[in-house]
Amino acid sequence: MTARCCLACGGRLTVVREDGHTRRRCRRCGWIFYGNPVPAAVGVILRRGRVLLTRRARPPYAGTWDLPGGFLEAGELPEACLVRELREELGLRVRRARLLGFATDRYGPRGFAVLTTVYRVEPHPGPLRPADDVSEARWFPRRGVPFGAIAFPSMRTLLRRYLSGR
Ligand SMILES: [Zn+2]
């Protein structure tokens, strides 16, 4: 997914090379589409040695497993986004969140760039109430995580590394 028209004047964009990157520039006014990553925040949620994964109800990668979280709103910091998304998506309340690291990916095979902040989350106890962008939420034992069925390659790598203690 990429911009086809200029957001400033509606003109056609043309592919140009700049500083070793491929950009799209407006032929009419010179506006450039940089394709900067969209920030997201997700949680590795562990309880009694099990990790919580959610099954994606919508594209991209509908039907695959994912770490719960979502995209930042304008003006929002990553941790606030994480807390909000986990409440909206799962009815889960965050007790403690610790930064694990960052991951870069695309939102689907031809999707826009995403920069994800990943947290280790300790939740408050309580039942989960999955929202409609999640078709299922399930606790997996560390050795039973379906890595091959996890939506985003960067999440697969990060989770595999984290759960094996590397
Ligand atoms: Zn333009």
Q: For residue 91, report the distance from its CA to the centre of ligand 1, in Å.
A: 43
- 134 in the same domain as 94: yes
Neighbours of ion ligand 1 (CB under 5 A): 6, 8-9, 11, 26, 28-29, 31
Task: For 100-144, write each residue's pLDDT tens digit.
Answer: 999 999 999 889 999 999 999 999 998 898 888 788 999 999 999
Task: For 82-105, write each residue's pLDDT tens digit.
Answer: 999 999 999 999 999 999 999 999
Determine the Cα–Cα distance for residues 147 and 136; give it in Å rounded to an integer.
16
The domain in which residue 59 lies consists of 38-163
- 28 in the same domain as 61: no
For the question of whether the overall pTM of this predicted structure is more than 0.85, the answer is yes
Q: For residue 3, report the distance from its CA to the centre of ligand 1, in Å.
A: 12
- 144 in the same domain as 122: yes
From 88, 89, 122, 136, the catalytic residue: 136
- 19 in the same domain as 81: no
- 105 in the same domain as 47: yes
Task: For 9-63, write each residue's pLDDT tens digit.
Answer: 999 999 999 889 999 999 999 999 999 999 999 999 999 889 999 999 899 999 9
- 83 in the same domain as 2: no
Q: For residue 95, what is the domain's CATH number? A: 3.90.79.10
- 1 in the same domain as 69: no
- 105 in the same domain as 23: no
Task: Return the closest-CA partner of residue 138 out of 73, 41, 55, 19.
Answer: 55
- 82 in the same domain as 55: yes
Determine the Cα–Cα distance for residues 60 and 73; give it in Å rounded to an integer.
20
The verdict on whether 76 is a catalytic residue reads: no
- 79 in the same domain as 3: no
- 58 in the same domain as 140: yes
Do β-strands 38-47 and 32-33 pair in parallel, antiparallel, or remain unpaired?
A: unpaired
- 112 in the same domain as 135: yes
> How many structural domains are present in the chain?
2
Q: For residue 32, report the distance from its CA to the centre of ligand 1, in Å.
A: 8
